Structure 1
Amino acid sequence: MLRFAHIEYLWGLAAIPVFLLLFIRVTRWKTKAIKKLGDRNVIDKIVPDVSFSTPRLKFILFMLAYVFLIIGIADPQIGSKMEEEKRKGADLMILLDVSNSMLSQDMAPNRLENAKQAIAQLIDNLHSDRIGIVVFAGEAYVQLPMTTDYSAAKLFLNTINTSMVPTQGTAIGAAIDLGMKSFDFNDGTGKAMIIITDGENHEDDAVAATKNAVDKDVSVHVIGMGSPEGAAIPKYQDGKQVGFHTDTTGQTVISKLNEDMCKEIAAAGNGAYVRATNANSGLNIVMGQIDKMQRKTYDTKSFKDFEDRFQFFLGFAFLCLVVEFFITNRRSLRLSRLKLFEVKSA
């Protein structure tokens, strides 16, 4: 199994298209400048020792060194052995609201990003509990099946955004029903759900779905995102904000935290309700309740003895830089004397 110890550094690879565009622009500029000086064949005779193809080779070596360097910094690791082990834990399903109202900025930087940061911190503090993620708006989807692979959980978490569910709305009940289908009720472990939402439920009966969950010994906790005063919902186009969502009369839509709905769901689910703030997500309070759940031993397979492989990539990067350094813009006299492609006249 391959994993990266610092996967966030792989974002550095996004700079490659920028380097490529800059190189193309500079190359075109040089070509135009040479054409202004005169005929290319004449220029080759005036400066016979200058190689016009060497910069391309040097650029390729530089880009290879950059790619190897970024991968090396991310520290690729290989799991050399898989072992089956016994863990004692509970099952925790996160139900995350990804409707457009979660983009409101009454929490920094917005409700959704604030919630994702809190979930990431929660994952960092897990040890043996299994975790899954369901995202919902007008519909609900399983983003992450139940797992103990916390690295994968954070990777899936980073990809969550409001555009991943095409149907807008807030179907909390559907998310609860889908979360229930994701549990394995044959293993006997304690189970809980944490709903992270602004509480604007417009699609179904969330309280009825919560009561069905409680009938199967699943507790349901709620984290309220936003403020009672509310905030406008930003509208984005091509990654840039282009105003705010408006209703049919042209008035700006204000999304407010529906605490009554959140509290009603938590009460029906025998769980806790906490209103999140910029300083405290409230997940620590909820986890305090979840820690009281019954935990049972279950079997799981995982890779052990992960070995670092960063040294190979850093070595390749260094080698490419050394080769690039010793390549000059002068033509090789030996190669030029060979004249392999010269056509001799009869």
Structure 2
Amino acid sequence: MSLAPMLQDFHFLRPAWLLALPLLWGLSLWLARRRGRDGDWSRLIDPELLAGLQLEGAATRGGLSPWPLLALLWTLAVLALAGPAWEQESSPAFRGSAAWIVILDLSPSMTVADLSPDRVTRARYAVDDVLAAAHDARVGLVVFSEEAYTVTPLTSDVATVRSLLSPLEPAIMPTRGDQLAPALDRAAELLAGAAASEQRVIVISDGYADPAAAFASASRLRAKGVKLSVLGVGTPGGAPLPGGSGGFVRDAQGNTALARFDPEALQGLATAAGGRYRPLSGLADLTAELADQQSPVRGGAATDMTLSKWRDAGIWLLPVLLVLAALFGRRGWL
């Protein structure tokens, strides 16, 4: 490496250590002046006798002062701690090739019990199975009713995402509704900065009330290369919608309101995004597909990554420091 580029790139990785240099140089100077040639013996011995003793000691001492060496030793130690650097080195790096956003429906209809014990519990079980398939993938979680909310952004800490599943119930949502489009848009935002070769949104729902907006959001995901998987939760016959007082919700005619399951709408959503719809019974096929997408054969290109970092050259000062420290330990210098 030529000298000019080296000088241009030269810097300290931890420059704050350089603030110690003036203090250490001042301490060395103070020690040198305080412990001069007479070693402060002039306070205890008469000047005439001290002069004779100094002449006698000068014949046996080597005559080298330790204080310049001490200042040099401290200077080199501070420079090593500051981390001089002028070259970069590359190291291999790995990042999971997949990024998934799971969208969980927390609309009021998810409380019905046409599936045992109810739809939302079975949906949480499905999310847990999806998380179990995320070996190297980063996963985020979004919930929706009338509005969408981010539970966790993209993370490789699947255990943390799993720990947040239990409290997710329709009752915790501040408003009641069934708007899927905001959740799809939120998923697109979370995936926008993800450097992953495979991006996927997984919707777990029993239906939605905004088909036009949801189809438009799904089409935008498709245009960005994001895959969409839809998992339906419910039975065709539906079940009565639980009310807040322990009974069931009734319509304007006084009849018990049924929460229907709409697989056709979910299938249409998957088609709009170029994805695939599965009923809850197809969960095993979905998790197998997700696991396959993370295999080395499919995701190998994403592992060919390198990270560049500055090489800390302070380590090369350590041998010099050891030699100087050994010299400083010479008998009679302190």
TM tier, smaller: 0.5 to 0.7
1:237-252 alignment runs, 5 A limit: 237=245, 242-252=246-256
Aligned to 1:9: none
Compute the RMSD of aligned alpha carbons: 2.3
Query: Could you tell which deviates more after superposition, 183-192 or 137-146?
Result: 183-192
Taking a change above 3 Å as real, the CA distance of residues 253 and 200 of structure 1, as seen in their structure-2 partners, is farther
Is 1:222 aligned to 2:230, yes or no? yes
Query: Could you tell which deviates more after superposition, 118-127 or 217-226?
Result: 118-127
SS at 2:217 equivalent? helix
Could you list the structure 1 runs, at least 4 aligned residues long, displaced by more than 4 angstroms after superposition.
none
- TM-score of the superposition, structure 2-length normalised? 0.58
Count how many residue pairs are aligned between Structure 1 and Structure 2: 209
1:38-187 alignment runs, 5 A limit: 86-185=94-193, 187=195
Tell me if the contact between 2:99 and 2:196 (Cα under 8 Å) persists in the aligned partners. Answer: no
CA distance in 1, matches of 2:150, 2:194: 20
Taking a change above 3 Å as real, the CA distance of residues 139 and 299 of structure 1, as seen in their structure-2 partners, is farther
How big is the shift at 1:150? 1.1
Is 1:262 aligned to 2:266, yes or no? yes
CA distance in 2, matches of 1:172, 1:147: 23
Is 1:271 aligned to 2:275, yes or no? yes
Is 1:253 aligned to 2:261, yes or no? no
CA distance in 1, matches of 2:116, 2:306: 40
| Structure 2, unpaired ranges of 5+ | 1-91, 308-334
| Structure 1, unpaired ranges of 5+ | 1-83, 301-346
The letter of the residue matching 1:111 is R
- TM-score of the superposition, structure 1-length normalised? 0.56
Per-residue deviation, residues 222-243 of structure 1 (Å, max 9, x unmatched): 1111111110111245xxxx10
Query: Could you tell which deviates more after superposition, 289-298 or 242-251?
Result: 289-298
Tell me if the contact between 2:96 and 2:196 (Cα under 8 Å) persists in the aligned partners. Answer: no
The letter of the residue matching 2:134 is L
CA distance in 2, matches of 1:217, 1:128: 20
Is 1:286 aligned to 2:286, yes or no? yes
SS at 1:179 equivalent? helix
Per-residue deviation, residues 202-252 of structure 1 (Å, max 9, x unmatched): 476211110000000001111111111110111245xxxx10112233221
Aligned to 1:328: none
Larger Rg: 2
Taking a change above 3 Å as real, the CA distance of residues 112 and 190 of structure 1, as seen in their structure-2 partners, is same
